[in-house]
Structure 1
Amino acid sequence: MVGTNLPPGTAPIKPEFLVSVQPRDVPDDDAAEGTTSHVNGRPDAAPGAGGAEEGAKKLSGAQRKKLAKEERKKHRGANKGRRFQKVRDEVELCFRIASGKDCEFGDECRFTHDVAAYLAAKPRDIHFPSPEDLSDKPPFVRLPDVEMAEDAEAPQTSLDFTTTCPIFQHTGECRHGLKCRFLGSHVQKKEDGQLELVVDEEKKARLAAAETELNFLDADTLKKIRTKKYPHPIADAYLKEIQQASNEQGGGNTVEASETPASSAPETPAGTQPIESVPAASDDAVDRSQDDTPDVPLRFVEKKRLHWAGKTYLAPLTTVGNLPFRRLCVDYGCDITCGEMGLAMSFLQGSKEEWSLVRRHPSEGIFGMQIAGSKPQLLVPAAEIIGRECAGNLDFVDVNCGCPIDLVYKTGSGSALLDAAGRLGKILVGMNKALGDIPVTVKLRTGVKDGKNTAHKLMPRLSSEWGASAITLHGRTRQQRYTKLADWDYIKHCVEAVRAREADESLPPVPIFGGGDCFSAEDYWYKMENYGVDGVMIGRGALIKPWIFTEIKERREWDISSRERLELIRKYAEYGLNHFGSDTAGVNTTRRYLCEALSFQYRYIPIGLLETMPPRINDRAPAFRGRDELETLLASPDSRDWVKISEMFLGPAPETWSFTPKHKSNAYGSEEGQG
């Protein structure tokens, strides 16, 4: 009898694979979603973050404001809380010299120019395995027997000429040169015994464009943004309009200049007239070549229409939804990808880390970026800069109205906008003006508090009044925990409310995606056929099994083998090295994000082990063994095993390296020195 000895809510694993009938501890996805700080384990524990009861009763408004500003500065940028130290070479070689170029700083350069000393101290090359080197039997990855040079005076004794550099393999040139940890793949000895970097000019000309990431901002542009010298005339004109409208209604208040980092435009006071009553500016198309002319771009009806019905959509995922992971999901059939949430404030401060979130790989067919902010004075100028710098390489900009974490919510961003319809309307209208023909989409939750769903009132206004080109609704409130299932009946109710408004006003329908708990092809297609949505946004399901997109496209549940899963991990490591770099720092950054991915993927229960189908995302897994040793290893909740898996592709982890996953229950290594 199925599940006879298993507690309710436990995954129905066949008895022959059970090690224990007691379910494992449930990973806390709420804590993982809210993870922003190593300090005290919770972001809302910090003074001034608004989490303690110290706030309103003990501090004046000015004091709370000052603390909030300090807290924002402290946590500037996305995902900065869990800090990971950068692992560097023992001897740091100048990157210009490493690339075979001259260094303009000469003897004053703070890095060494002594190539021989660098190579003598450099760790041995890492062997990157091919798919043919993988096996489901120990040691799972076959490494070659490499004969190292025995000449003690030769600096290149660490070279492995049998390895493969993923960057060189895909582009014909490795940008890290001598610093590459796979150096033997693209170097040769000259007659004098010195090393010479190899460049495959034919491959470089043929493949480099297909592998070159898009939406890079150069240092000069970032400096202009950071020093407030980057013009955004459309935003300035729009902000002036809403301020004038506010003054006419008796508001008249302005924000302090220090709170408006990219413009002196004032903040619209709370409670002023909704955006639809604000006089519209000129509808003339913007001339992007005239930086100082505040023309207004295309009307909403002239925006690019989004034809997304039936397409698969990977949710924007903070930390784990990075470019290598998105590439992986695209390989398995994902149609629409969205970058990690970025903060408008940090974009306007010229944060290099924040601007890296808009990078796109050429394989991403439909790509957008997600932005969070609390007011038009932040979001509209940021949108204008993004629209100019990413023109042609950005398919949509998504406004985050669903982020539940305290650090975002208590600044008025994320899900706080659900209770600020007037301000949200001003934001969307302004962003539509500033972005030209790039569509604006919105991701939101059902409401802020449990039992008080409000999305059905807000969603019809998003497209009909404020120009949202697509809407995604996560079927949970901000307050609701992941242990409660998403409310798909309410999602259907919201879809019907939007469609009724569109029918009444003869408006073209916008795509509406639902989200929450989708974990199988059967579940996906059931939701598509019964809840009126145009698609289902997938988040945790893709983190646990990135091949879910293949299952959806082929309408089947894939009993993927352990070797196929190991090949997926190899591919992730390859994409990580291409993105983060193949030098020591890049290798260990890749290791960190690979372990982040494994901290979700271990939760996958092979469907060949289940007594009933389909699998459910919230079922707790008892301890089980796989059908082979590799499948058992891939199911380990021990982060030491995740690091062991990373070492199959990225070499031994440095002694100083440590890892704290988003689910912090099983960290690896020491936290010393991480801040």
Structure 2
Amino acid sequence: MEDGFARIKEEYILEINKKCGNNDVNKEVVTPIKQPEKRRGMDRQRKGKMLKAKIEMAKTEIRICPSVFSEDDIKCKYGDKCLALHSKEEYWAKKPPDIGTVCPIFEQQGKCKFSLACSFARAHTNTETMDQIEKDPSPSWKPTINSQTIQLQINLRKNLFKFERTETALKEISTTVACMERETNLNMKTLCGKTYLAPLTTVGNLPFRRLCIELGAEITCSEMAMATQILKGQPSELSLLKRHPSEKLFGIQLAGGYPDTLGKAVELIKDNFDVDFIDLNLGCPLDSVNEKGGGCSLASRPNKLVNALKCMQNVADKLPISIKMRYGMKEGKRTAHTIIKQIVQQSPPQLLTLHPRSRL
């Protein structure tokens, strides 16, 4: 062996017959049946275990019942079965120490909604009377718009919300032939030259949009919200519709695959939220969205798309409707020009954005 190579000690060198284990080379090799691998994290009993763990944690966790802070002296609905404390003094004595001396919510809003349960409770609590201290809010603080949705969620879950305009619009779809003409509050032509922050799922949240506005964005749009989840009163989906006061021109992007759900979602948004326009997502490539008829899938069904736009526009009345779409489903197969032609002839939106790429 030439110099410069690391030599292997003889005791670590195996002979060929030992390495093979003296097996007969000509012996037929039996390939064992491969058992399906258990996916990481799979545990059929996990749900039960987690439930038991939550119950045990609730028994040992120090919590105060929300009924204690009720201004109307509402009694606890759980009665004697409630695991939380009902005495402010007892909770204060057992409460973990604060993690800081300044409560950011109290400093901005003038009061803290978490009261004694706040991790900075001593900053806004009278330790003698256990009453909460209030002051004037900061001049820079403005409440978030479109955030009061608790009663709306309850009405949606109990089917108490009436979609009268949507039902009327759905009946008119089959009889409407000519192109619709209607007056709009927001003339989309006036948006020419303004910086439009494109809707960005998981990225374009409210804090990100606020930052972009400070950097020069003039038009903002919410993250993609599923029409079906909005109609179910899903809190996580309704939270996507929140708007900051600094957003002067704000739109909500909807995704859905059917005229009835999209129409109802538009009616709900128009009657209960502060919004300047609604954008219909026709470019989402996610399988979970396309399998339900939304995103790129809806753009590939022109007749269904036209009916959806007609229903949305009838319900929206003077609220502008815009759409964003890709040039086609598959690379190299451009179909957007034929779809756009049909849309413009039968149910033209106020703004159309073309994303020059395919879904696949």
- Same-fold call, TM > 0.5? yes
Q: Check the 8 A contact 1:241/1:279 in 2, yes or no.
A: no
Q: Distance in 2 between matches of 1:113 and 1:346?
A: 36
Quick one: which of 48, 61, 76 aligns to 1:90? 61
The question of whether the paired residues in 2 share the 8 Å contact of 1:98 and 1:178 is answered with no
In the alignment, is the contact (CA less than 8 A) between 1:189 and 1:195 conserved in 2? yes
Secondary structure of 1:357's partner?
helix
Per-residue Cα deviation, 1:341-386 (whole angstroms, up to 9, x for no partner): 1111112222232222211111211111111111102111221121
Q: In 2, Cα distance between the equivalents of 1:382 and 1:473? A: 24
Unmatched tracts of structure 1, length 5 or more? 1-38, 42-84, 128-159, 246-275, 281-298, 480-675
Partners of 1:278 and 1:121 in 2: CA distance: 71
Return the letter of the residue paired with 2:114: H
Assess, with a 3 A threshold, how the Cα gap between structure 1 residues 40 and 416 changes in structure 2: closer, same or farther. farther
Q: Any conservation in 2 of the 1:432–1:467 contact (CA below 8 Å)?
A: no
What per-residue deviation string (whole Å, max 9, x for no partner) do you get for residues 110-149 of structure 1?
A: 532233443455444334xxxxxxxxxxxxxxxxxxxxxx
Measured at CA, do residues 432 and 405 of structure 1 come closer, stay the same or move farther in structure 2, by a change above 3 Å? same
Is 1:171 paired with 2:109? yes
**Distance verdict in 2 for CA 1:337–1:302, change over 3 Å:** closer
In structure 2, what is the equivalent of residue 305 of structure 1? 187
Please tell me whether residue 180 in structure 1 is matched to residue 115 in structure 2: no
Paired position in structure 2 for 1:596: none
TM-score by length of 1: 0.41
- Equivalent-residue separation in structure 2 for 1:459 and 1:362 (angstroms): 34
Contact 2:62 2:91 in 1 (8 A): yes
Q: What is the aligned partner in structure 1 of residue 35 from structure 2? A: none
Measured after TM superposition, the shift of residue 398 of structure 1 is 0.8
Q: In the alignment, residue 203 of structure 1 is paired with which amino acid?
A: P
Q: Structure 1 residue 463: deviation in Å?
A: 5.0
Distance 1:168 1:427, change over 3 A: same
- List aligned pairs for 1:129-528, cutoff 5 A: 160=101, 163=102, 165-190=103-128, 194-200=129-135, 202-203=136-137, 211-242=142-173, 244-245=174-175, 277=177, 299-306=181-188, 307-390=190-273, 393-463=274-344, 465-479=346-360
TM superposition shift of 1:430 = 1.3
Q: Secondary structure at the match of 1:197?
A: coil
Residue 224 of structure 2 aligns to a residue whose secondary structure is strand
What is the aligned-residue identity percentage? 35
Give the partner amino acid of 1:114. Answer: S
- Conserved 8 A contact 2:302-2:342: no
Deviations 1:229-250 (CA, angstroms, capped at 9, x unpaired): 32222211121233x55xxxxx
Partners of 2:245 and 2:342 in 1: CA distance: 34
The code of the aligned residue for 1:215 comes to: N
**Residue 113 (structure 1) aligns with:** 86
Instruction: Give matches, 1:13-32, under 5 Å.
Output: none
Counterpart of 2:46 in structure 1 is none
Please, which of 94, 98, 105 is the counterpart of residue 125 of structure 1?
A: 98
Which runs of 5 or more residues in structure 2 are unaligned?
1-37, 41-53
Q: Is the 8 A contact 1:99 1:176 kept in 2?
A: no
**1:372-406, CA deviations, whole angstroms, 9 ceiling, x for partnerless residues?**
1111021112211211112xx20111111011110
Measured in 2, the distance between the counterparts of 1:348 and 1:239 equals 17
Change (3 A) 1:454 1:118: farther
Provide the C-alpha distance between the structure 1 equivalents of 2:86 and 2:172, rounded to a whole number of angstroms.
57
In structure 1, distance between residues paired with 2:198 and 2:184: 27
Alpha-carbon distance between aligned partners in 1 of 2:130 and 2:314, rounded to the nearest angstrom: 55
CA deviation vs aligned residue, 1:130-178 (integer Å, no higher than 9, x gap): xxxxxxxxxxxxxxxxxxxxxxxxxxxxxx3xx2x22222221111111
Q: Give the superposition deviation at 1:228.
A: 2.7
Q: By how many angstroms is 1:427 displaced?
A: 0.9
TM-score (normalised: structure 2): 0.74
| Alpha carbons 1:98, 1:176 under 8 Å: kept | no
- Change in Cα spacing, 1:112 to 1:313, as seen in structure 2 (3 Å) is farther
CA distance in 1, matches of 2:343, 2:96: 55
Specify which structure has the bigger relative contact order, considering alpha-carbon pairs within 8 angstroms and separated by 6 or more residues: 1
Structure 1 residues 111 and 468, CA gap change in structure 2 (3 angstroms): farther
Q: Match for 2:182: what amino acid?
A: F
Deviations 1:21-77 (A, max 9, x none): xxxxxxxxxxxxxxxxxx979xxxxxxxxxxxxxxxxxxxxxxxxxxxxxxxxxxxx
Q: Distance in 2 between matches of 1:226 and 1:388?
A: 17
Residue matched to 2:43:
none
CA offset at residue 100 of structure 1?
7.6
Deviation at 1:473, TM superposition (A): 2.5
Asked if 2 retains the 8 angstrom alpha-carbon contact of 1:99 and 1:178, the reply is no
The answer (yes or no) to whether the contact 1:415–1:448 under 8 Å persists in 2 is yes
- What residue number does 1:502 align with? none
Paired residue type of 1:326: R
CA distance in 1, matches of 2:301, 2:121: 55
